[in-house]
A and B are shown apart, each in its own frame.
Chain A
Amino acid sequence: MDMIWIILILSAIGLVSGILIFIVNRALPKESESLKKAQKVEACLPGYNCGACGYPGCFAYAQAVAKDKSLITKNPCTTVIQNEKMRSELEEVLDIKIDASAMNKKAVVRCYGVTTPLGDYNGINTCKAANNLLGGFKRCPYGCLGLGDCAKVCPQDAIEVDKARNVAVIDPDKCTGCGLCVNECPKNIISLVPADATIVYRCSYEPVKNIPGRERCDEGCIHCRKCFKSCEYDAIIWNNEKNIPEFDFSKCTLCGECVEACPHNRLIKFSELSHKEQQKLEKEKVNS
């Protein structure tokens, strides 16, 4: 007799809960239109949840974009801008045109990193902590500390610390220009440049600020103004206040004259930046 009751009770409760879920599903208001649109937008987003756009995750960004289309130009998701497939999908969903070339950027570390250390640093293993100790342990006050704060925040794993030179190197192919590392660097030596730029100025030293006990490294920019003079297109502007060259990438014709002119090799082409690429070339040389 017991068995029959068990079967009856079990199936009754199963049936009742099934009916209840059905009723709840019907009684509740349908999912709103904006939420459906946000889900569509989210499908086109990368889904890294890196937070570079300033929203807590891709879904929050999708909700904001679904409400206000112009946000995609005001506060673009850099990963989408760089990825052609995602960009065309998003253009279709939102029914707008996205001018990618105007927003496309990548990050550059403006340091070569060969400066000698003042001593051994055994403290907390982050650039920020090291920077709080008298501005870091390197002789150059503007030098990359090479402890990899930027590498830790990079959602693309595009940053690697070159152990030999003790400097962070950003892979221009992997970088999506989200700008997270720019805010992370305590030395402020990472900057965003247009993605089609081909030259890198790899020194941040400002000679006007004379800090006792600190000096420029042997490989640093000697501020000879040769690049400034060599440029025929006014793309290099000399900042007289700080005594450093500044670059206007909108005028740059990518001719490479300044790279040739630089006597100290501080201006280099992007293609020479990737450390891995250099290693590959060296290997090929050895093989041949």
Chain B
Amino acid sequence: MNNLISIFILMAIVNNIVLAKFLGLCPFFGVSKKLSNALSMGLAVTLVMLIASISTTVIYNYLLVPFQVEFMRIVLYILVIASLVQMVELAIKRTNVALYNSLGIYLPLITTNCAVLGVALINSTENYTILQSTVSALGGGVGFSLVLIIMSGIREKLELSEAPESMEGLPIAFITAAMLALAFLGFRGMI
């Protein structure tokens, strides 16, 4: 149990996917302009990450390791994640139209998101069991959503505040992101 909690905190805060591992930077800047968009994106990424990690861990532990072909995992993971996202999108579209409308644009975007692949790869390098990788994916998703929400909150304020003309928009957002990453560096050594 202790082990699971430490994995969760490690993935969510200490080794945060965006600010410590520098994965998934594209949605970090692309979708962090509005708080509501950031929330839906975080939700969608967490969902896909969870499903992808469970299935890739099963494949890694019961297919790749016994046949000693671990080096093929990147190709396989992309294949598995892409088809999984297709299935999830289909299921949501047919059963819950309201949820599909709010997630719709983001789900296909996540298919080849490196954050999802990154968590799956971390799980297999650390040799996590299925339960452990579930928790680590949950932590990764929560960490991603957390950073996206913090960033979108700051950027909504930045829109209203006055910045030097050359710094307006993306440049000031990059500087803010750098400071955020520095702040998250403070969690190093916690675990």
Contact = CB atoms under 8 A, between A and B. Distances in A.
Contacts of B79: 10, 13-14, 17
Contact of B59 (A13, A18, A28): A13
Interface in B65-98: 67-69, 72, 75-76, 79-80, 83-84, 86-87, 90-91, 93-95, 97
Interface residues of B, number: 22
A20 interface: yes
Contacts, number: 50
A133 interface: no
Interface size class of A (residues with CB under 8 A): 20 to 34
A28 B90 contact: yes
B90 A5 contact: no
A10 B76 contact: yes
B87 A10 contact: no
A238 interface: no
B127 interface: no
Contacts of A35: 97
A2 interface: yes
Interface in A53-79: 59-60
Contacts of B72: 6, 9-10
Nearest to B86: A21
Nearest to A14: B79
Contacts of B64: 9
A59 B101 contact: yes
Contacts of A20: 83, 87
Interface in A75-104: none
A98 to B, nearest CB: 26
B63 interface: yes
Given A10-B76, A13-B80, A21 B87 contact: yes
B69 A29 contact: no
A175 B97 CA distance: 33
Contact of A9 (B76, B83, B87, B91): B76
A230 to B, nearest CB: 50
A2 B80 contact: no
B75 to A, nearest CB: 7
Interface of B: 59, 63-64, 67-69, 72, 75-76, 79-80, 83-84, 86-87, 90-91, 93-95, 97, 101
14 contacts: A2-B68, A2-B69, A6-B72, A9-B63, A13-B63, A13-B80, A14-B79, A24-B87, A24-B90, A28-B90, A28-B94, A31-B93, A31-B94, A59-B101
Given A9-B63, A21-B87, A28-B94, 13 more contacts: A5-B69, A6-B69, A6-B72, A9-B64, A10-B79, A13-B59, A17-B80, A17-B83, A17-B84, A24-B90, A29-B94, A35-B97, A60-B101
